[in-house]
């Protein structure tokens, strides 16, 4: 490309041919006042503010449209220019709240914005959500605009709030056109245009429709480029967001492992399923497992849920995993041996994750598992109808493939013995495998089983005898798993007793629905009081409950109703009200409240040097994704402890430029999430075959296309702002 030399304000500037004066000045760091220009948008000249003086030309030129020429001499800061620019700003301010912008006393009003002149609030900046961040404020300050010579009339236009995410205040719109061009040129959506409203020209939804009917895809590009407070995030009004990236992409922020969810949904929408899986595997070694059993906090945070339904992120992950071509392996690397040895105690999700990433750092890893098979709660706590063992086995095999040795039937009770064997560090991922007692009289009667033991015995193939009528005590996911497992073992009637209402059940709503669909019954507001053996059966006495004030969990506390006792006969009672870790005292680590291992929250190091811990043994019973995240955190800390960098991040797929143009899509706003196809009830109860069948390819693609693409907002460049004036005391 041909290079041209010109002079701007006495500075020699080298520019590319075809470049505008404005672009050349920005590249050199020379500021030219503007309100409609944006680094990512083609020039428009709508605001007319970016005037410059070109030697040899009788008229001022609009710098964002005027092209550079060889030996051109340009001035951006002359008395005549500034006077003309103030006139342009004055015209804008004549239809914009400006009392604070033009007041010579404005510095005295800060920081509380208390008006010393008692000006109407509609004329001031104090009600604007962008007050202090507004580009118009900054331009007015730069031009040293002291006093208005015009009268201002408040427009009295409505504030458009039909968009679920942001407000459009027509009273603050300066018709710069940025939002219209962003919607058209950034995204190719064309949902915004200039409209006439009570005689004023403002930007608004196309053909003055509501946002949904205008074709809006809720990408926030218009909000991001607005130079005033006309377009503003409803959630971010009037306050600063400390973690801006987390706010913009809430699903990624909500994921404990911070998987780049928008990126892999984009790949699925493009039909690139292996690439989508690679994005997942950059953060977790169990994508197929998570695609089936994750509690998906990302979906609870998904912004699409405020429109109608959140994206089915979990099932999309499963689809990518089910279509694995091993592309991710091409860029997967294992570092050269470091000579360091790490013992991992417990082959659950936390332990295996830590082992995987430590092995990739070049350390020699041995995993000691007390049970006969690896997997921890993934294997013995989650039934096979939710997590097929072939999926779990395949993902554990990949962990072994990077050099991790797993020893089963190997219970470890002493950390000292591991150090004596030459291990340089130890990670404790013991899980929480001990069921919590009911605290009811007679709970040790034959036929009363704790849920953790029940699920473990079934998962390991042990012979478990149960009767025809079963009571399950509890309301969490484990209680639901126990109830559905009991049906598959031949129980004819399964009743869950839960002391609160369905709204307070900690179990995933979809799991509760599936249990009810399969025939499980739930008795709410009932708590066990006593168990007795009567006529060869278990008589369970319960108390009716009512809900009182909220407890520490935020749920309303169940309160017994005096004299409300009732009894029911059962063949078995399965107590599934919680679980706790079993920590051998010989480990020599300090415990915290709830008999969990106390750790430093940043490093996960315990009270013993070189001993780290994570997962349920630290948090108490939590989710798979939380355990995986702690496994990653521990791997990083242990690597640092052993002299490494602690950097376990990896790129398994070559970065490619994402097309920012997402285009119009007629019914985009109305699309709902798809239903997961499942086995027929009869087929389900015949055994432990996986119930959920997975999405078809067309369904997965269409679901991924429902994504609002929140992440694209982060790719928008910041505007060119005036230099900050240095105040001399």
pTM: 0.92
Residue 711 has pLDDT above 80, yes or no: yes
How far apart are the C-alpha atoms of 437 and 258, rounded to whole Å? 35
443 and 551 share a domain?
yes
Q: Which helix (H) or strand (E) holds 278?
A: helix 273-281
Going by the DSSP 8-state scheme, the letter that residue 591 receives in this structure is B
439 and 573 share a domain?
yes
How far apart are the C-alpha atoms of 630 and 79, rounded to whole Å? 62
Q: Which two tokens stand for residue 616?
A: 């349920």
Q: Which two tokens stand for residue 472?
A: 């399950």
How far apart are the C-alpha atoms of 641 and 424, rounded to whole Å? 9
Kindly state the average pLDDT of the residues 402-423.
Answer: 97
- 551 inside domain: yes
How far apart are the C-alpha atoms of 500 and 479, rounded to whole Å? 14
Q: Looking at the DSSP assignment, which residues form a beta bridge with residue 495?
A: 471, 521
Tell me what pLDDT residue 1 has: 74
CB 275 within 8 A of CB 653: yes
Domain hosting residue 511, numbered range: 434-577
Q: What is the pLDDT of residues 648-688, one digit of tens each?
A: 999 999 888 888 999 999 899 999 999 999 999 999 999 99
Asked if residue 50 has a cis previous peptide bond (ω within 30° of 0), the answer is: no
Kindly state the average pLDDT of the residues 255-283.
Answer: 97
Domain count along the chain = 4
How far apart are the C-alpha atoms of 200 and 174, rounded to whole Å? 10
- 568 inside domain: yes
Quick check: helix, strand or coil at residue 203?
Answer: strand
**Which of 154, 122, 143 shows the shortest CA–CA distance to 50?**
143
Q: Where are the alpha helices (DSSP H) in 414-502?
A: 415-420, 451-459, 477-488
CB 642 within 8 A of CB 610: no
Residue 70 has pLDDT above 50, yes or no: yes
Burial class (CB in 10 A: 0-12, 13-18, 19+), 526: buried
CB 448 within 8 A of CB 482: no
Kindly state the average pLDDT of the residues 18-37.
Answer: 94
Among 48, 77, 106, the domain boundary falls at 77
Q: What is the pLDDT of residues 486-508, one digit of tens each?
A: 999 999 999 999 999 999 999 99
CB 543 within 8 A of CB 560: yes
Q: Which helix (H) or strand (E) holds 281?
A: helix 273-281
Among 77, 103, 125, the domain boundary falls at 77
Tell me what pLDDT residue 729 has: 46
Residue 727 has pLDDT above 80, yes or no: no
- 402 inside domain: yes
429 and 439 share a domain?
no
Categorise residue 232: left if φ over 0, alpha if ψ from -120 to 50, beta otherwise: beta
Q: Which two tokens stand for residue 33?
A: 């006042």
Q: What is the pLDDT of residues 592-650, one digit of tens each?
A: 998 999 999 999 999 999 999 999 999 999 999 999 999 999 999 999 999 999 999 99
For residue 682, the tally of other CB atoms under 10 A from its CB is 7
405 and 521 share a domain?
no
Going by the DSSP 8-state scheme, the letter that residue 396 receives in this structure is H
Residue 484 has pLDDT above 50, yes or no: yes
Quick check: helix, strand or coil at residue 441?
Answer: strand
| N-to-C CA span, the chain | 48
Residue in the structure block whose two tokens are 């005027």: 66
- 538 inside domain: yes
Task: Name the phi and psi angles at 171, rounded to 5.
Answer: -70, -20
Q: What is the pLDDT of residues 688-700, one digit of tens each?
A: 999 999 999 999 9
Q: Where are the alpha helices (DSSP H) in 614-653?
A: 616-619, 624-641
558 and 477 share a domain?
yes
How far apart are the C-alpha atoms of 287 and 399, rounded to whole Å? 13
Torsion of CA 611, 614, 620, 622, to 10 degrees: -170
Tell me what pLDDT residue 114 has: 64
For CA atoms 685, 688, 689, 694, give the dihedral sign.
Answer: positive
Q: What is the pLDDT of residues 538-582, one digit of tens each?
A: 999 999 999 999 888 788 899 999 999 999 999 999 999 999 999
Tell me what pLDDT residue 147 has: 64
Tell me what pLDDT residue 99 has: 65
Q: Which two tokens stand for residue 386?
A: 């939710």
375 and 472 share a domain?
no
Report CA 616 to chain centroid distance, whole Å. 22
Among 77, 107, 133, the domain boundary falls at 77
Q: Where are the alpha helices (DSSP H) in 284-388?
A: 287-293, 297-301, 313-322, 349-360, 377-380
- 59 inside domain: yes
Domain of 25: which CATH number? 3.10.20.740
560 and 684 share a domain?
no
In this prediction, what percent of the chain has a pLDDT beyond 70? Answer: 95
Q: Rounded to 5 degrees, what angle do the CA atoms 206, 207, 208 make?
A: 85
Secondary structure (DSSP) of 169-217: EGGG-----HHHHIIIIITS---EEEEEETTEEEEEEGGG--HHHHT--
- 384 inside domain: yes
568 and 444 share a domain?
yes
Q: What is the pLDDT of residues 95-154, one digit of tens each?
A: 887 766 767 566 656 665 666 556 666 666 666 777 778 899 899 889 887 766 667 778
316 and 409 share a domain?
no
71 and 42 share a domain?
yes
CB 275 within 8 A of CB 329: no
Average pLDDT, the chain: 93
Q: Which two tokens stand for residue 624?
A: 């798979």
Distance of CA 477 to CAs 212, 295, 514, 557, Å? 37, 10, 12, 20
Q: Which two tokens stand for residue 154?
A: 């408040």
Q: Which two tokens stand for residue 665?
A: 């899509």
Tell me what pLDDT residue 155 has: 86
**Beta-carbon contacts of residue 646 (< 8 Å; ≥ 6 apart):** 636, 637, 639, 640
472 and 408 share a domain?
no
Tell me what pLDDT residue 117 has: 59
Residue 205 has pLDDT above 80, yes or no: yes
Residue 64 has pLDDT above 90, yes or no: yes
CB 466 within 8 A of CB 486: yes
541 and 438 share a domain?
yes
- 614 inside domain: yes
Q: Which two tokens stand for residue 468?
A: 């025809």
Query: 154 vs 342, which has greater pLDDT?
Result: 342
Q: Which helix (H) or strand (E) holds 272?
A: none
- 23 inside domain: yes
**Beta-carbon contacts of residue 311 (< 8 Å; ≥ 6 apart):** 251, 265, 299, 302, 304, 673, 703, 704, 706, 707
Domain of 309: which CATH number? 1.10.1060.10
Domain of 470: which CATH number? 3.50.50.60
Kindly state the average pLDDT of the residues 264-271.
Answer: 97
């Amino acid at each position: 490309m041909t290079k041209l030399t010109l002079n701007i304000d006495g500075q020699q500037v080298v520019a590319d041919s075809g470049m505008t004066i404005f672009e050349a000045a920005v590249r050199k760091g020379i500021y030219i006042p503007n309100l409609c220009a944006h680094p990512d948008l083609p020039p428009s000249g709508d605001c007319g503010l970016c005037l410059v003086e070109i030697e040899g030309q009788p008229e001022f030129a609009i710098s964002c449209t005027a092209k550079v020429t060889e030996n051109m001499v340009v001035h951006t800061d002359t008395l005549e220019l500034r006077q003309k620019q103030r006139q342009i700003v004055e015209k804008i301010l004549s239809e914009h709240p400006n009392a604070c912008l033009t007041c010579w006393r404005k510095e005295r009003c800060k920081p509380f914005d208390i008006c010393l002149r008692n000006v109407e609030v509609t004329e001031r900046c104090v009600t604007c959500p962008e007050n202090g961040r507004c580009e118009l404020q900054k331009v007015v300050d730069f031009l040293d605009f002291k006093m208005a010579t015009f009268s201002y009339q408040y427009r009295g236009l409505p504030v458009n709030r039909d968009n679920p995410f942001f407000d459009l205040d027509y009273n603050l719109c300066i018709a710069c056109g940025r939002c219209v061009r962003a919607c058209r040129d950034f995204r190719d959506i064309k949902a915004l245009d200039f409209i006439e409203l009570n005689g004023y020209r403002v930007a608004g939804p196309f053909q003055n429709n509501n946002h949904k009917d205008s074709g809006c895809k809720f990408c926030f590009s218009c909000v991001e480029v607005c130079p005033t407070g006309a377009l503003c995030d409803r959630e971010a009004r009037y306050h600063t967001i400390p973690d801006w990236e987390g706010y913009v992409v809430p699903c990624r922020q909500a994921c404990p492992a911070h998987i780049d969810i928008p990126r892999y949904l984009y790949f699925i929408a493009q039909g690139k399923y292996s690439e989508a899986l690679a994005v997942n595997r950059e953060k977790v070694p169990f994508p197929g497992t998570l695609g089936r059993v994750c509690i998906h906090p990302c979906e609870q945070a998904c912004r699409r849920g405020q429109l109608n339904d959140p994206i089915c992120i979990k099932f999309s992950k499963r689809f990518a995993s089910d279509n694995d071509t091993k592309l991710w392996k091409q860029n997967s690397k294992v570092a050269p041996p470091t000579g360091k040895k790490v013992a991992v105690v417990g082959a659950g999700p936390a332990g295996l994750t830590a082992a995987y990433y430590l092995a990739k750092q070049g350390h020699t890893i041995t995993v000691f598992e007390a049970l006969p098979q690896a997997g921890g709660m993934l294997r013995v706590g989650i039934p096979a109808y939710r997590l097929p063992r072939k999926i779990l086995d395949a993902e554990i095999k990949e962990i072994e493939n990077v050099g991790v040795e797993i020893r089963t039937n190997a219970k470890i009770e002493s950390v000292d013995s591991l150090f004596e064997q030459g291990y340089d560090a130890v990670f404790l991922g013991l899980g929480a495998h001990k069921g919590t007692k009911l605290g009811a009289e007679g709970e040790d009667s034959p036929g009363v089983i704790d849920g953790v033991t029940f699920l473990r015995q079934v998962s390991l193939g042990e012979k478990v005898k149960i009767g025809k009528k079963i009571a399950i005590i509890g309301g969490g996911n484990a209680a639901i798993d126990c109830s559905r497992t009991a049906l598959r073992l031949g129980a004819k009637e399964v009743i869950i007793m839960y002391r609160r209402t369905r709204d307070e059940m900690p179990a995933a709503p979809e799991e509760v629905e599936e249990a009810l669909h399969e025939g499980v019954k739930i008795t709410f507001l009932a708590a066990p009081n006593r168990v007795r053996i009567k006529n060869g059966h278990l008589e369970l006495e319960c108390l009716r409950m009512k809900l009182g004030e909220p407890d520490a969990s935020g749920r309303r506390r169940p309160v017994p109703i005096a004299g409300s006792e009732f009894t029911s006969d059962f063949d078995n009672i399965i107590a599934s009200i919680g679980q706790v870790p079993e920590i051998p005292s010989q480990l020599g680590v300090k415990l915290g409240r709830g008999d969990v291992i106390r750790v430093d929250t940043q490093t996960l190091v315990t009270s013993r040097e070189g001993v780290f811990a994570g997962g349920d043994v630290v948090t108490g019973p939590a989710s798979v994704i939380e355990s995986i995240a702690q496994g990653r955190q521990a791997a990083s800390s242990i690597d640092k402890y052993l002299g490494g960098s602690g950097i376990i991040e990896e790129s398994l797929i070559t970065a490619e430029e994402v097309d920012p143009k997402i285009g119009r899509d007629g019914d985009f706003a109305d699309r709902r999430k798809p239903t997961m196809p499942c086995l027929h009830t009869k087929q389900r109860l015949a055994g432990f075959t996986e119930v959920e069948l997975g999405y078809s390819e067309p369904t997965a693609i269409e679901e991924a296309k429902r994504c609002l693409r929140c992440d694209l907002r982060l790719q928008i460049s910041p505007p060119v702002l005036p230099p900050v004036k240095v105040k001399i005391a």
